[in-house]
């Protein structure tokens, strides 16, 4: 009877050690859970930044579709267009060279 009790105890200890090993050192361990949570937090921050950019772009698109002034400003600033009676002047940035 004592031998059966020892075998059962031995197998229970082996099972407990195996489960503890999997819990702390395995593929689904607490360490891996912590790493995944940190990656998830970083991804959530990136997603929020992209959502903000999308909101800004959506607002600009709505303004562009609903406003003739926006179209005119875009044509003037980005495309360099002007009315025939207007003179278009472009300022070029020149690097300063200090000859001290």
* Spans of all domains in the chain: 2-77
Tens-digit pLDDT profile for the chain (100 aa)? 788 888 999 999 999 988 888 777 777 778 888 899 999 999 999 999 999 999 999 988 887 788 778 777 777 777 877 777 877 677 777 765 545 4
Q: Which residue's structure tokens are 């689904």? A: 28
- Tokens at 96, concatenated: 């300063």
Q: Look at the pTM and tell me if it is higher than 0.85.
A: no
From first CA to last CA, the distance across the chain in angstroms is 101
Taking the C-alpha atoms of residue 33 and residue 22, their distance in angstroms, rounded to an integer, is 13
**CA of 6: how far to CAs of 11, 13, 62, 92, in Å?**
9, 10, 77, 90
The H or E element containing residue 17 is: helix 2-25
Are 80 and 90 contacting, i.e. CB atoms less than 8 angstroms apart? yes
């Amino acid at each position: 009877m004592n031998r059966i009790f020892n075998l059962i105890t031995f197998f229970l200890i082996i099972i407990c050690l195996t489960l503890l090993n999997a819990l702390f050192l395995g593929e689904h361990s607490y360490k891996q859970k912590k790493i995944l949570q940190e990656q998830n937090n970083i991804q959530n921050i990136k997603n929020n930044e992209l959502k903000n950019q999308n909101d800004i772009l959506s607002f600009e698109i709505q303004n562009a579709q609903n406003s003739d002034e926006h179209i005119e400003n875009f044509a003037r600033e980005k495309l360099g267009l002007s009315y025939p009676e207007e003179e278009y002047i472009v300022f070029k940035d020149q690097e300063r060279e200090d000859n001290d």
